Chains A and B, each alone.
Chain A
Amino acid sequence: MTLKFECETGNYHTFCPISCVSWLYQKISDSFFLVIGTKTCGYFLQNALGVMIFAEPRYAMAELEEGDISAQLHDFDELQRLCLQIKQDRNPSVLVWIGTCTTEIIKMDLEGMAPKIEQLIGIPVLVARANGLDYAFTQGEDTVLAAMAHRCPSESSNIPREQSQSLVLFGSLPNTVAQQLTKELENQGITVSGWLPETRYEELPSLGPGVFVCGVHPFLSRTATTLMRRRKCQLIGAPFPIGPDGTRAWIEKICQVFQIQPQQLDERETKIWDSLEQYLALVKSKSVFFMGDNLLEISLARFLIRCGMIVYEIGIPYMDKRFQASELKLLEKTCHEMNVPMPPIVEKPDNYNQIQRIRALQPDLVITGLAHSNPLEARGITTKWSVEFTFAQIHGFTNARDILELVTRPLRRNHHLKDLGWSKLATTS
């Protein structure tokens, strides 16, 4: 038995990749994100990010008007004017331009203009094309980090190669989580020499040949490619540190590359699993269906199978089989060991078809976007909102509990309300 890959129509719901500014501006505290797009982009950000808007965020829209589209206004002058204004008001250490669908279609040469404006205003200007024509949701971070990888300082080459073997981790994580993972590796005698991104743009890590890099998110395939091809780094392909099983496999793989025998990992993992006992009892033998919208699906499914769940389907926007190779292998292995059938992996899913399948399969839990959550709940199908996995802390040993806290919340809610008799609340089928 091996994994089956399918591909549907791509008519599915997800967030626009520009949403990455919401967590990246908070992570990189001296940055400013300028989204060059239309009212549509602005409206999405404003509504999706809710209260963050009111907290003087370090991002803004450069809203394109009719004059910009018909080229009556000069892009360069307009962008220069706005960037100067941002410099004056906020004085960031880096400006990140987020290209959108509109800048793609009208072929606005952001990459061409950025270096010139950078010179004029004296602040680095990065360009990330995080648009809905090419990418889904979390892939937005991938485009930004790929652009940022170019700006990392070069590892000086006069240090002997053996000593310069350093490890840089890539992927944006809340500072505490990044700290936790750094500590886990330190316990094995591995020093993390830097993170892409760091808390401040000015602290970006050095890169170069001899630097090992390892990803913490499954959606960073462009960044990985850039690090390998352009910065000549050596990629460690590992499963992702999501769930205790993933975290252990991740550490083991890194140790293996650095030729270190991992210490007490087995005990550490077992202890975490033991602490999850009460949650595991709730999810055991329950079925779950991933509709797919944030590319965390493979790792989460692998963890949930290890927890004793049965996965009916793994929907996913985009599947990079090379970048996720180790994760896919671990998924296969987990299915074998837990003795459950391999779930089909459905790339570019079709939400309409998925809902038909959900109706037929009646899973115990559907992990889905907000567009479908309430309608499914009204039909008696339990759901968990998928975007929460993107914003919650789910990496490392310490946070495995948080994943299960999220997954079991609707199940626990069901348990509380089970005797009331009104689980189906829609009049139509």
Chain B
Amino acid sequence: MKLAYWMYAGPAHIGTLRVASSFKNVHAIMHAPLGDDYFNVMRSMLERERDFTPVTASIVDRHVLARGSQEKVVENILRKDQQEKPDLILLTPTCTSSILQEDLQNFVERATSTTHSDILLADVNHYRVNEFQAADRTLEQIIAFYLEKGAAEAEQTKKPSANILGIFTLGFHHQHDCREIYRILKDLGIQINQIVPEGSLVTNLKNLTRAWFNIVPYREIGLMAAEYLQKHYQMPYIDRTPMGLVETASWIRQIRTFVKGIESLDFEKYIDQQTRFVSQAAWFSRSIDCQNLTGKKALVFGDATHAAAMTKILVREMGIHVCCAGTYCQQDADWFREQVQGFCDQVLITEDHTQVGNMIANIEPAAIFGTQMERHVGKRLDIPCGVISAPIHIQNFPLSYRPFLGYEGTNQIADLVYNSFTLGMEDHLLEIFGGHDVKTVITKNLSTDQDLVWTSSAQNELQKIPGFVRNRIKRNTEKFARSQKIQQITVEVMYAAKEAATA
């Protein structure tokens, strides 16, 4: 058992449902107790989805426990087949079905003989995989099923073309990223063969093999499908993430290798043009505004894809000092370490949000780039935070065009970074005039023990310290007081703490 307050990655069935409901005309039936269909709420609320989420539950209740759920599951499959005539019904196990150990595969086979829809049992185990791994596996499973079922199209498209694998419902800025990738490919003279799974039909999956290569924008979901296509159909894939100027350029250069021998535009010239004039990020990093960011401390945390890319952008493209880069994707820890090596002081691989919170409290960076959880830690510690990765809230599903990938993405990221740090001039003024907030400092540290008392004269003294270092001084003083077993902090204690620190 694990004491847990919060988690970064959801349970396996969420991943499966994200895949199923991203396709068009696919229906998922969860084998689950009442109340487990919370996914429908998330999709309807966060994505502000206009259509009914194609997910229903075959409810496991007391009667089912007593009699087994075969009858009910088969009946629900047949009913859904008649009601909505989906191309595919995906039976989705949950943590409950994992322990009931009923033969769901058998139910699928029984139902298959009388339905118009294809029926699959999602091959995921609640206790072994998380949301991302389950989504990755389910996507591969569906693609493999349809390629093996009908003869895959052998003939490549005449013009160079690509599939984009891994654009999902409830993904972090996926729709915008997809549009940005599409734009770049169009500029490069490469057609999109298919975007999978968002908005695509399973009946078209047999055409996947017509593309020249596959694009996997995010490591977490889509890689297994790309590997499957490479192994069975010799399709190369690119798993680099075009996030940031340097990475986008490398991404385009790798695509170049897939379309060799095709007369098209000068890729290098395109990269140069886009970098210097279409994207504003290159110019921004040279502008005097960005100078003020030089050497500022930041902490980055998120999924492997976004945290790695963000770390590289901050260090390589903006001159910011990343004290700690981390991810909760433990399954991808090695890759992550390799990616950020040399770009940060330390690497943090954990699924425990308190560990991340403590790290932030310790480092006291000038800005955080993380998930919604880090944003809340930042709020408590008075450190600004830019959200760069799932898990996310409704405000991270903006209506306006906000990609993170490609050249427009670099602009968005530059804005995000710039707005997250206290603006340069404001910073100076604070330093000169000793801050403009006259409120008494209240404890904003993460630890809950409040055994220390600040005398009013010491509090006044604390007020004189510029805002942006005040918290650090306060914490150092308290640390010193605790080590000396001092209960009451006076001005003298503050000075003693300062001397002890410099000694």
Contact = CB atoms under 8 A, between A and B. Distances in A.
Interface of A: 10-11, 13-18, 36, 38-40, 42-44, 46-48, 50, 53-54, 56-57, 60-66, 68-69, 73, 78-79, 81-82, 85-86, 101-102, 104-106, 131-137, 352, 355, 369-375, 378, 425-428
A86 B49 CA distance: 40
B37 interface: yes
Contacts of B61: 10, 133-134
B50 A10 contact: no
Interface string B436-457: 0000000000001000000000
B99 A106 contact: yes
Given A42-B7, A43-B14, A105 B94 contact: no
Contacts of B44: 370-375
Given A16-B36, A131-B33, A426-B50, A61 B4 contact: yes
A53 B5 contact: yes
Nearest to A317: B34
B41 interface: yes
Nearest to B10: A43
B33 A133 contact: yes
B393 interface: yes
A371 B37 contact: yes
A131 B56 CA distance: 19
B341 to A, nearest CB: 31
B146 to A, nearest CB: 23
B52 A375 contact: yes
Contacts of A135: 34
Contacts of B7: 39, 42-43, 46
Closest 10 CB pairs of A and B: A16-B35, A132-B33, A371-B40, A378-B50, A54-B376, A39-B11, A78-B1, A38-B95, A66-B127, A132-B35
B158 interface: no
9 contacts: A16-B34, A16-B36, A38-B11, A65-B127, A73-B1, A133-B61, A369-B41, A372-B44, A378-B51
Given A40-B94, A136-B34, A370 B100 contact: no
Given A105-B100, A352-B83, A370 B6 contact: no
B13 interface: yes
Interface string B31-64: 0111111101110110011111100111111100
B115 interface: no
Contact of A69 (B4, B40, B76, B99): B99
B3 A82 contact: yes
Contact of B60 (A13, A101, A371, A426): A101
A140 B45 CA distance: 24
Contacts of B127: 65-66, 69
A227 to B, nearest CB: 24
Interface of B: 1-7, 10-11, 13-14, 32-38, 40-42, 44-45, 48-53, 56-62, 65, 76, 83, 94-96, 98-100, 126-128, 130, 373, 376, 379, 393, 448
A81 B1 CA distance: 9
**Interface SS, B side:** mixed
A288 to B, nearest CB: 21
A11 B57 contact: yes
B77 to A, nearest CB: 13
A38 B38 contact: no
B37 A60 contact: no
Given A47-B42, A375-B44, A60 B4 contact: yes
Given A39-B7, A375-B52, 17 more contacts: A14-B34, A14-B35, A16-B33, A18-B35, A39-B130, A40-B11, A40-B13, A42-B7, A54-B376, A60-B5, A62-B3, A63-B1, A63-B4, A101-B33, A131-B33, A352-B56, A372-B52
Nearest to A62: B1
A392 B36 CA distance: 24
A63 B3 CA distance: 6
Given A40-B11, A102-B99, A378-B50, A371 B41 contact: yes
Contacts of A18: 35
Contacts of A17: 35
A36 to B, nearest CB: 8
Nearest to A48: B38
B67 to A, nearest CB: 13
Contacts of A426: 50-51
A167 to B, nearest CB: 34
A182 B60 CA distance: 41
A18 B34 CA distance: 11
Nearest to B49: A374
Nearest to A16: B35
A154 to B, nearest CB: 33
A44 B35 contact: yes
Contacts of B6: 42, 46, 53
Residue of A36, A38, A60, A82 with most chain B CB atoms under a 10 A cut-off: A38
A101 B11 CA distance: 15
A102 B3 CA distance: 16
A344 to B, nearest CB: 22
Contacts of B32: 132
B41 A61 contact: no
Contacts of A137: 35
A65 B128 CA distance: 9
A294 to B, nearest CB: 12
Contact of A39 (B34, B51, B126): B126
Contacts of A369: 41
B95 A11 contact: no
B210 to A, nearest CB: 28
Contacts of A11: 56-59, 76
B259 to A, nearest CB: 35
A178 B99 CA distance: 42
Nearest to A73: B1
Contacts of A69: 98-99, 127
A215 to B, nearest CB: 23
Contacts of A13: 37, 40-41
Interface-centre pick from A17, A44, A82 (highest chain B CB count, 10 A): A44
Contact of A105 (B3, B36, B96): B96
Contacts of A56: 448
Contacts of A104: 65
Contacts of A15: 35, 38
Nearest to B375: A54
B275 to A, nearest CB: 39
Contact of A61 (B5, B65, B98): B5
A315 to B, nearest CB: 14
Nearest to A81: B1
B143 to A, nearest CB: 25
Contacts of B94: 40
Given A60-B4, A62-B1, A375 B50 contact: yes
Contacts of B53: 371, 375
Contacts of A14: 34-35
Given A373-B44, A378-B50, A426-B50, A38 B37 contact: no
Contacts of B99: 69, 102, 105-106
B461 to A, nearest CB: 30
B393 A50 contact: yes
Contacts of B58: 11
A61 B6 CA distance: 8
B46 to A, nearest CB: 9
Nearest to B12: A39
A17 B35 CA distance: 8
Contacts of B11: 38-40, 43
A135 to B, nearest CB: 8
A57 B5 CA distance: 9
Contacts of B376: 54
Nearest to B53: A371
The winner among B11, B33, B34, B379 for most chain A CB atoms within 10 A is B34
B76 A374 contact: no
Nearest to A59: B5
